[in-house]
Structure 1
Amino acid sequence: MEGKVMKQPVIEYPPLDYEAARQRMVDAQIRPAQVNDPRIITAMRHVPRELAVPESLREFAYADQSLPLPDGRVLTEPRVVARMLQVAAPRQGERVLIVGAGTGYLPALASRMEEGLQIDALESDRTLAAIGQALCRTFAPDVSWHIGPLAAGVPDNAPYDLILIDGAVRAIPPALLSQCAPDGRIVAPIWPADSVASVCIVQPTAEGAGATRAVFDASVPLLPELAPAPTFSFDSVA
């Protein structure tokens, strides 16, 4: 019939099986990345990453990539998170500070790795923290949340045996280094301006600095709040 527009059939796709996607992520992304700590494997099989992203991104929650969050933040790629936790190797009874805790995925995983961990999650963005607190209420109720500047740490609860920074920095902020126990360690992606980002272990030294050892390269964006302010130079003036 001339002039009549035929309606296209509506194709309805079944809802994504997040549980199956989570298991595939572990088997296809995490285990092949030399992550052999069974505590990490178990935690990643159980903590729902889809609840750590905005609803519009949930279908991508188990992709092997970082996912964008508000205000220039990201949910770090799963295999980088897993390898960071393996490098950190939290031990029973340790005091742990997670800086840039965001939407709660890293604190929730760490909490499930070992009984008796005392975990403080520090986040400056209240919107992200609200998502993280909701996730942890169900899957990691022992995590304590703190809202405040990331560079300041949580001095009232220091010293920490382990500090994890979820996002790249040019250098470890001095306040965080001072809050690390003398025999503790900081695990963070460090991205020097003239090089690539690497996940590093930083240990305090007697001189008040930190001894840094790079462990593996990782494509992790800078934490905007901890990125150095741009410097002025006459060369930049047109």
Structure 2
Amino acid sequence: MVDYATARMNMVESQLRTNKVTDQRVLEAFETIPRERFVPDHLRSLAYVDEDLRLKDDRYLVEPMVQARLMDVADIRAEDVVLVVGAGSGYACAILATIAATVVGLESDPELAKLAESALQEQGVDNAVVIQGEMNKGYPKQGPYDVILLNGAVAEVPKALTDQLSPKGGRLATVVRSDSGPGKGTVFERWEKAVGRRTLFDANTPVLPGFHKQPGFVF
């Protein structure tokens, strides 16, 4: 039988602390939230491995190190409102709910959205909600957001999402993947109408549906 508490602690010590995750609130959240409760039953024994876990079709639970580093560099504050694009099974929402004031999860897949809501309720998370909708359009109804986390990689970040960031230092964290080479953990920051970006680390994270590179015109 798997000792999940020990596996969780080992994940934090060997995957997160050794990979430049330094925000103590992020580390404590990963130590506390039971990752095994956010995967299908047949994957629970693998919940703490350092790789992406396939939830269904082309949807994955992002590996712990990548999720934690993106949360770390997003500099989330206790009063922040956070949007998670690609809520998946709800794990990232549960982690962020221990750090931020309000978390909105956006999920396009109805089965995953239902799974996420059920898992959050089971864990007693009362400051996070999962909304079903098109992920690349965001959820402007609850914006602007202090932080947007894209829970997967993207070929490029849609303007619709950066427009939903707070114009006073809103941050968006994701992995940006081109056609070749590794993806790059990247943070975008908005000040008024200007959006800057910082590239921080390599990550081969799967691309979220709806965020692949759009084909150009061929003449």
Deviation at 1:34, TM superposition (A): 2.1
| Residue of structure 1 aligned with 2:89, choices 87, 100, 103 | 103
Higher strand share: 2
**Equivalent of 1:155, from 123, 133, 140?**
140
Partner residue in 2 for 1:167: 152
Partner of 1:22: 8
> How many residues are aligned here?
217
**Letter aligned with residue 199 of structure 1:** G
Change (3 A) 1:209 1:227: farther
State the Cα RMSD in Å: 1.7
Asked if structure 2 preserves the Cα contact closer than 8 Å seen for 1:158 and 1:180, the reply is yes
Q: CA deviation at 1:145?
A: 1.4
Q: 1:80 to 1:172 in 2, by over 3 A?
A: same
**Distance in 2 (alpha carbons) for counterparts of 1:139 and 1:24:** 24
Point out where structure 2 has 5 or more consecutive residues left out of the alignment: none
Report the CA distance between 1:192 and its aligned residue: 2.4
Asked if the contact 1:108–1:139 (Cα under 8 Å) also holds between the matched residues in 2, the reply is: no
How far did residue 107 of structure 1 move? Answer: 0.9
Structure 1 gap ranges (5+): 1-14
TM-score (ref. length: structure 2): 0.92
Matched residue of 1:167: which SS?
Answer: strand
- Aligned partner (choices 110, 131, 142) of residue 126 of structure 1: 110
Among all aligned residue pairs of Structure 1 and Structure 2, give the percentage whose two residues are the same amino acid.
Answer: 36
1:52 aligns with 2:50: no
Q: 1:205: Cα distance to partner?
A: 5.5
Tell me the distance in 2 between the aligned counterparts of 1:55 and 1:46. 20
Q: 1:139 to 1:109 in 2, by over 3 A?
A: farther
Opposite residue 185 of structure 2, the aligned amino acid is V
Q: TM-score, length-normalised on structure 1?
A: 0.85
Distance 1:29 1:139, change over 3 A: farther
| CA distance in 2: counterparts of 1:99 and 1:35, whole angstroms | 21
Cα distance in 2 for residues equivalent to 1:232 and 1:59: 46
User: C-alpha displacement at 1:20, in angstroms?
Assistant: 1.7
* CA distance in 2: counterparts of 1:211 and 1:45, whole angstroms: 32
Q: 1:177 aligns with which of 151, 162, 180?
A: 162
The code of the aligned residue for 1:228 comes to: K
Q: Is the 8 A contact 2:12 2:31 kept in 1?
A: yes
Q: Pick one of 57, 80, 86 that aligns with 1:94.
A: 80
2:19 match: 33
192-201 or 70-79, larger mean C-alpha shift:
192-201
> In structure 2, what is the equivalent of residue 140 of structure 1?
125
Aligned counterpart in structure 2 of residue 188 of structure 1, from 174, 183, 200: 174
Over 3 Å counting, the alpha-carbon distance change for 1:139 and 1:81 in structure 2 is: farther
Larger Rg: 1
CA contact (8 A) 1:153 1:176 kept: yes
Displacement of 1:147:
0.5
Q: Which residue of 1 aligns with 2:63?
A: 77
2:78/2:99 contact within 8 Å kept: no
One-letter amino acid of the structure 1 residue matched with residue 12 of structure 2 = V
Higher relative contact order (CA 8 A, sep 6+): 2
